[in-house]
Amino acid sequence: MGVAEILSFHDLKRTSCREGILEVMLVSKQALSENVIREQLNGHFDRTTFYRSFKTLEAKRIIHKVVIDNLPVKYALGNTLNPKKMHAHFFCKDCNSVECLNNTPIPTYPLPDGYTYSDTEVIIKGSCAKCNQ
């Protein structure tokens, strides 16, 4: 699915900033920090426009946060057709890369009566294929 289709599917206007953010993330194929995304856009957008666009994409669940220990927060493209589908993430301890494992479903866990869950996060830590070579 391309950038235009992603924005259309989520009933968002196509703006150059939203398109730029999504292009950077589609090309990367791994989670990136806000600063890295801004750097990739070469300062084409002022700070306010960038953050407003960024937060809109997050609110629509097109992108999602990945928080690992005390490292800077990274963001990844979600499953844009099914943003509520949860998936695991892989964190490489060698190169600090983070990848969505969209084909690795998260199991559901039985909770005691009266408990409800809002999110489940699974982060698998190890060495990625590139670092294992």
17 labelled ligand-binding:
no
C-alpha to C-alpha distance for 44 and 26, rounded to whole angstroms? 18
Secondary-structure percent of the chain, ordered helix, strand, coil, rounded to 5: 30, 20, 50
Copy the structure tokens of residue 61: 């669940």
The DSSP 8-state label assigned to residue 62 in this structure reads S
Cβ contact 31:74 at 8 Å: yes
Consult the annotation and say whether 95 binds a ligand: yes
Question: How many other CB atoms sit within 10 Å of the CB of residue 89?
Answer: 23
Residues in a beta bridge with 63:
77
The 10 Å Cβ neighbour count of residue 118 is 4
100 is in an annotated binding site: no
92 is in an annotated binding site: yes
Residue 87 β-bridge partners = 105
Annotated binding site: 92, 95, 128, 131
Annotated binding site for Zn(2+): 92, 95, 128, 131
